[in-house]
Structure 1
Amino acid sequence: MNKTAKIKKNHQFIKLRKLVIVSVLIGFLSAFLGISLKKITEYYEEIFFHQATVNPIFYVVFPVFGLSIIYFLRQYLFKKKENKGIKEVFESTQSKSKNLPNYKIPSHFINGLLTVIFGGSTGIEVSTVVATATIGSVAQQKENVFRQYKTELICAGVAAGVTALFSSPIAGILFAIEVISRKVTRAFIISNLIAVSIAFGLITILNEGPLFAVTITTWHLKAIPYFILLGILAGINSVYLTRCVLFFKGQFSKIETHYYKIILGSIVLSVSLFVFPQLYGEGYHAINGIFSNSAIPLTLTLTFTFIGILLLKPIVTSITLASGGDGGVFAPSLFIGAFLGLLLASVLNTFFNAQVIPLNFMVIGMAAVLSASIHAPFTAIFLVCGLTNDYTLFLPILVVCLISKYTAKMIYPHTVYTFLPSISK
């Protein structure tokens, strides 16, 4: 081997070693951030939601208080800099000069937390994704050798963050591929595998269990036609969610005085929470509630409750985001999917004696609506299987996720992430 080839080989080895080291750091920091945000949010959301159920006046107080704090933090702590959500990650990966600034880490962490615990009808997932993407972005700016790995390191942070939230390293990597990068390089494989391994190792050490404790026993071939119907309905509901987000952001962007947005958003949110407390925050408490009572008989009151929730959830989510809240469509999609699945299963069993398993429809519905909302079916499959720690329904989830995605794309080709105007988040 000549001297030039030896130098080149040593240089490649040094680059690889540095990439491994930085991937370990990104994985640990992103997982730590994701786990911390999840735990703090769960703790305080439970406390505040309990207070609101005991004293309903807090359904009015919490939203206006939370949105006001976020507004003042953005004005004075973060120097009037707006959070644009995952769109910022796209802009950074598609530009050589544009990077995610450091303040995005505390900004999304704090604002995402405040939005959810004070009743904002969204989740912390997008806040986590942008904050962890920023960790990757900051890391790649530290050394010239990492400049060519910008997308890979940003995706490593995102993948580790998603892994920490949903206990699924496969979902973390697939989300980075399907939504952020859309291409795979050798550096991507190395950095992302290391980052999600560190993240999964950390949640294993901390003994993080699945978010939803459910027991799925089996599924039947006779339910396939009903699963197909669920996929179509999930696609339609996801388009409704997407169009609501884009519409209300467009309308609220016309309001020049920001505090008017807060007042209007708080009024809508407060009334909605008062009527349907299930819409409070991420809504995971409501999902766990219907998981526990999935066999309850369908009554007229219950039917109207489910329909009201399915119609209102996209609206209150959209208004939460449009009036200054921080979040995205991950948690709302899971919420809508669970309630849609239970409603469909209950209707089939009550009026058509279909004898389907409601629990299966709820789990599949969660994956289907998420798949259609973000156009990432494989992410949705492994994410929901990770949430329940059960792969019994893998095959029907795969089929239904593909149906829901392509149903949604046929009706409306965009997601809230891919819609071009700057009003999208």
Structure 2
Amino acid sequence: MTLKNKYYSTKWLTVLLASAVVGFLAGFTGLLLKQLTEHFEQLFFAQSQQRSYLLVFFPVFGLSLIFFLRKQLFKNKENKGIREVLDATLSKKKLSLYKIPSHFINGFITVIFGGSTGIEVSTVVSTAAIGGLIARKEHFLKKYQNEWMGAAIAAGITVLFHSPLAGLFFSYENILKRRSKIITATHLVAVAVAWGLLWVVDEPPLFATHLQAWKYEALPYFLLLAGIAALYGVYLTRSVLLVKNFFPMGHKPYGNVLICAALLTVFLWFFPELYGDGYHAIKDQLAAPSPMTAWVLINVVLLIFLKPLLAAITLRGGGDGGVFAPSIFAGAFLGLLVANLANTYAGAALIPTNFMVLGIALVLSASLHAPFTAVFLVCGLFGDYSLWIPLMILAPITRWMSSRLYPYTVYNIHLKSVKIK
């Protein structure tokens, strides 16, 4: 073996070993944040339902704690979510290491105390910082910083949604948006290690259920849901951006925290389904669907339209999060609404659970502009691939319709220097 061949063999061996380390650290971080958040969110939510006065205390305490941690511990810098990762990949700047504990802790506190968002963005940024850390260790690895960040993010998404393909596609569709040998190698190894970690701990899918086979008679309603989801994706994006960036919430920083906490309390009091990521409400519907009375239909409509607004209020108050959880929550209830309206008023025989799955994927595709991420993410969430054929057809269509109506997402709009009108 020539000296040159030895060098390249050693280089690739180092890359593969580093990718395995990235996959384990990012996967373990995502798994730890997921399990801790699920446990304490369930515990605190149950307590708030038994002792309603806690709904007054939880949002104030959670957002206040984040505010003071940022002031005293995290360099007085606010978290900007996935925007920070995109900025780092474009400018080749390093993500500060404090982003790992900052997003981990703030995301955890936000959700367990009722902030109406999820830990997905916290996982993305903290794992991206882990990937960036690897690039600091060896001189020749520094030029692959973006590749390590993407691989770490892919591993984190794999763990959160029980889907390696969702992790790979999310990194490609939303973060790096390119392919190369080094990207393929780092991502495949990191995702394989993260997937192996899930296998070792026997972590089940979040909404594990058995879906019924879809029927061709449902296709017109699938298309109807795709059109509605495209419109809703634009509504979600625009409402989050407008509330988060322009809605006046007080001139003094801590006053802003108190105002946002008060608004959270009011909405959570009347709509407890909006507490935290809202996944508990989806699980309740899957376990015991509510009869579709007129009041239940009105309540579902209100939940769908309020979720993005409450997520934006949470973010405006300093909470950590993004549009992943609101899209999953709203998509599930949007699909449920369409199926039940069609069954009640059009005599259709649609399967509500199937429409909840479709709704999640289509709203994610519309809001993230990432159709293949949405398809494999929702299949991983439910642990079932029965609907992958209509999903693979409808998700790109929904993304196309949504992007034609509004070409930006909450993650890329700042890159275009667009002023929202």
Q: TM-score, normalised by structure 1?
A: 0.96
What is the aligned partner in structure 2 of residue 313 from structure 1? 307
CA distance in 2, matches of 1:422, 1:69: 33
Deviation of 1:252 (Å): 5.0
Equivalent AA in structure 1 for residue 18 of structure 2: V
Which amino acid in 2 is paired with 1:298?
M
What is the deviation of 1:407?
A: 1.9
Q: Which moved more, 1:24-33 or 1:235-244?
A: 235-244
Q: Does 1:383 align with 2:374?
A: no
Match of 1:416 among 406, 410, 414: 410
1:44 aligns with 2:37: no
Structure 2 vs 1, CA of residues 156 and 212 (structure 1 numbering), >3 Å: closer, same or farther?
A: same
Query: How much has 1:293 moved relative to structure 2?
Result: 2.7
Q: Secondary structure at the match of 2:403?
A: helix
Letter in 2 for 1:363: V
Work out the CA distance in 2 between the residues paired with 1:71 and 1:240. 29
1:394 positional shift: 0.4
The answer to whether structure 1 residue 349 and structure 2 residue 343 are counterparts is yes
Q: Structure 2 CA distance, aligned partners of 1:92 and 1:250? A: 22
- Aligned residue in 1 for 2:225: 230
Name 2:330's counterpart in structure 1: 336
Shift of 1:115: 0.1
Within-5 A mapping of 1:6-155:
6-96=2-92, 98-155=93-150
SS in 2 for 1:141: coil
How big is the shift at 1:26?
0.5
- 1:375 maps to amino acid: H
The one-letter code sitting in structure 2 at the alignment partner of 1:29 is L
Q: CA deviation at 1:289?
A: 0.7
Distance in 2, matches of 1:279 and 1:146, equals 43
Q: Deviations over 1:233-273 (max 9, x none)?
A: 11111111111111112125884411121111112111110
Alignment of 1:299 onto 2:287: no
Matches within 5 A, 1:402-413: 402-413=396-407
Rounded Cα–Cα distance in structure 2 between residues aligned with 1:69 and 1:283: 22
CA distance in 2, matches of 1:253, 1:326: 19
Tell me which of 157, 165, 185 is aligned to 2:160: 165
1:17 positional shift: 1.1
| Structure 1 residue 316: Cα displacement | 0.2
Query: Runs of at least 4 residues of structure 1 off by over 3 A?
Result: 252-256, 421-424
Matches within 5 A, 1:243-322: 243-252=238-247, 255-294=250-289, 296-322=290-316
Displacement of 1:42: 0.6
Tell me which residue corresponds to 2:191.
196
**Counterpart residue number, 1:399:** 393
User: Matched residues in 1 for 2:367 and 2:272: separation?
Assistant: 24
- Kindly report which structure 2 residues correspond to 1:362-381, keeping only aligned pairs within 5 A, or say none: 362-381=356-375
TM-superposed CA distance for 1:422, in Å, is 10
RMSD: 1.5
Q: Which moved more, 1:13-22 or 1:127-136?
A: 13-22
CA–CA separation in structure 1 for the residues paired with 2:208 and 2:196: 21
Q: CA deviation at 1:215?
A: 1.4
Q: Deviations over 1:150-186 (max 9, x none)?
A: 1111111000000111111111011010110100110
1:125-153 Cα deviation digits (max 9, x unpaired): 00000000100011112211112211111
1:16 is paired with a residue whose SS is: helix
Q: Does the 8 A contact of 2:250 with 2:259 survive in 1?
A: no
Please say if residues 136 and 156 of structure 1, whose CA atoms lie closer than 8 Å, have aligned partners that are also in contact. Answer: yes
CA distance in 1, matches of 2:390, 2:94: 40
Distance 2:247 2:65 in 1: 19
